[in-house]
A and B are shown apart, each in its own frame.
Chain A
Amino acid sequence: MRIIADTNTCVGAGQCVLTDPEVFDQSQDDGTVILLNERPADVEKAREAVNICPSGALSLVED
């Protein structure tokens, strides 16, 4: 499973950072998502982050 983050869509709500700070961070400049690890160890948390992201900036793909 791989996470894709679209920083153009991201509105910096920070919900992904609260879900899994090992995988997600925010730019200190404009608050948008920074992927620390695009292949998350905890897939359940990644799914939760995708589900609660308000802007639809996150998606999970199988490859």
Chain B
Amino acid sequence: MTDTDTTASTLPVARTCPHAPHAEHLRLREEAPISRVTLPTGKQAWALTRHEDVRTMVADPRFSADRTNPDFPTLLKTQQDATRALKPGMISMDPPEHGPARRAVLGEFTVKRMTAMRPRIQQIVDEHIDAMLAGPRPADLVRALSLPVPSLVICELLGVPYADHEFFQSRSAKLLNRETALEARRGVLLDLKAYLADLITTKETELPDDLLGRQIRKRRAEGGYDREDLISLSFLLLIAGHETTANMISLGTVGLLQHPEDLAAIKADPTKTPAAVEELLRYYTIVDFAPSRLATEDVELCGVQIKAGEGVVSLANMANHDPDVFADPMSLDIERGARHHIAFGFGAHQCLGQNLARLELQIVFDTLFARVPGLALAAAVDELPYKTDSTIYGLYQLPVTW
């Protein structure tokens, strides 16, 4: 049965509340769990609002992740031709290509490997808090802590010189801004590609003991080394590796300051911090319109006939506020057990760096609130500069004092 009566609403809509789903998205769910929507390109797509349907959709091999397909649903104003500057990476792959591409680098991101990074991440966090405390009040937490910590960590892991952080941070901000026009987007991609190509070319002879150096050795030994593949991989890890965690550090700090009982609970018992981090990931769900897929065959999903060639967009923040799955979903509840949230996506493409993000968030919250017990916002919560124009939600600045 196709619901032809539903009025198509246009995505994206900017958040009006930092954490709760938009009223327009709630209206969509009231009408039907899956609705027709219009994308900025003018194309139609289906929007999923329920947790269960998102999980079902991404597990179904008839939905493709191939972003190079001109019918793939995008929330940008133009189809993502600009990404052709890079060889399609693992996020655009389907089976059978996806598994081997992901497994080639997975060993770098196991839980044990991430846990081994704890002392160094702790040191980086401490140094940045030292510097913030030595500086003037109020401070901007984004520049003092949220952005530099994950940026430094991913740089050290990959073997990208952190001295170049302004170069790639400014360019990744442009890529993530939905307002950046196609030509500017292509220019930024080509800049980043040239930078990474130079870096990787140098590593091909020096073979340093960092992720990129190890990947070159591994791929050469297996006989499949292709510089273009490694450029695409390093691009993905560099961009995904700092903006996402940075935004969760900022928003999570706001969330904990607004919920002093929860904050007191994790300060008194840091074994509660991992669960609090999961709940903050659910509560803010900083990537709104993921996972997206393209139907490669006709599929019936929750009573709706999706035709081959039609796009499907998941409203992740709706799925993470699905009252059938999370009781009283608009409330922050660090004890609820939120590990089944889809803030890192779901299915075969679920975030590769999720356990690095978890570790960074745990260390930052435990350390920040222990070392700066008087931490307070230096601006009203509803007047903070939220990233309503970005594909990754967050804060541009976060003035704090102590």
Interface residues of A (CB under 8 A from B): 8, 11-15, 17-19, 21, 25-32, 48, 51-52, 54-56
Q: Which residue of A lies closest to B342 (CB)?
A: A54
Flag if A54 contacts B350 (CB, 8 Å): yes
Flag if A30 contacts B355 (CB, 8 Å): no
Contacts of A31 in B (CB 8 A): 103, 106-110
Please, how many angstroms separate the alpha-carbon atoms of A36 and B34 in the complex? Answer: 41
Please, how many angstroms separate the alpha-carbon atoms of A29 and B112 in the complex? Answer: 12
Q: Apart from A54-B347, A55-B348, A55-B350, what are 20 other A-B pairs with CB-CB below 8 Å? A: A8-B99, A11-B106, A11-B349, A12-B102, A14-B110, A14-B111, A14-B355, A18-B355, A21-B111, A28-B110, A28-B112, A28-B113, A29-B107, A30-B107, A48-B339, A52-B339, A52-B340, A54-B350, A55-B347, A56-B59
Q: Which 7 A-B pairs have the closest CB atoms?
A: A31-B106, A54-B350, A12-B106, A30-B103, A26-B110, A14-B111, A17-B111
User: Is B354 in contact with chain A by the CB < 8 A criterion?
Assistant: yes
Q: Which residue of B lies closest to A21 (CB)?
A: B111
Please, how many angstroms separate the alpha-carbon atoms of A29 and B358 in the complex? Answer: 22
A13 in complex: contacting residue of B104, B113, B274, B354, CB < 8 Å? B354
Q: For chain B, what secondary structure do more than half of its interface residues adopt (helix, strand, loop), or is it mixed? A: helix
Q: How many chain B residues touch the partner (CB < 8 A)?
A: 28
* Known contacts A11-B350, A14-B111, A54-B350; is-contact A32 B106 (Cβ 8 Å): yes
B194 to chain A, nearest CB (A): 30
Flag if A11 contacts B348 (CB, 8 Å): yes
Please, how many angstroms separate the alpha-carbon atoms of A21 and B103 in the complex? Answer: 21
A53 to chain B, nearest CB (A): 9
Flag if A11 contacts B102 (CB, 8 Å): yes
User: Is B346 in contact with chain A by the CB < 8 A criterion?
Assistant: yes
Flag if A54 contacts B346 (CB, 8 Å): yes
User: Is B150 in contact with chain A by the CB < 8 A criterion?
Assistant: no
Flag if B339 contacts A14 (CB, 8 Å): no
Q: Which residue of B lies closest to A19 (CB)?
A: B339
Please, how many angstroms separate the alpha-carbon atoms of A34 and B10 in the complex? Answer: 45
Flag if B340 contacts A51 (CB, 8 Å): yes
User: Is B345 in contact with chain A by the CB < 8 A criterion?
Assistant: yes
Please, how many angstroms separate the alpha-carbon atoms of A56 and B61 in the complex? Answer: 12
Flag if B345 contacts A54 (CB, 8 Å): yes
A19 to chain B, nearest CB (A): 8
Contacts of A28 in B (CB 8 A): 107, 110, 112-113
Flag if A15 contacts B348 (CB, 8 Å): no
18 pairs of residues in contact across A and B, judged by CB atoms under 8 Å: A12-B102, A12-B106, A12-B109, A12-B110, A14-B354, A14-B355, A26-B106, A26-B110, A28-B107, A28-B110, A28-B112, A30-B107, A31-B103, A32-B106, A54-B345, A54-B347, A54-B348, A55-B348
Please, how many angstroms separate the alpha-carbon atoms of A52 and B338 in the complex? Answer: 10
Please, how many angstroms separate the alpha-carbon atoms of A19 and B274 in the complex? Answer: 12
Interface positions, chain B 104-126, Cβ under 8 Å from A, are 104, 106-113
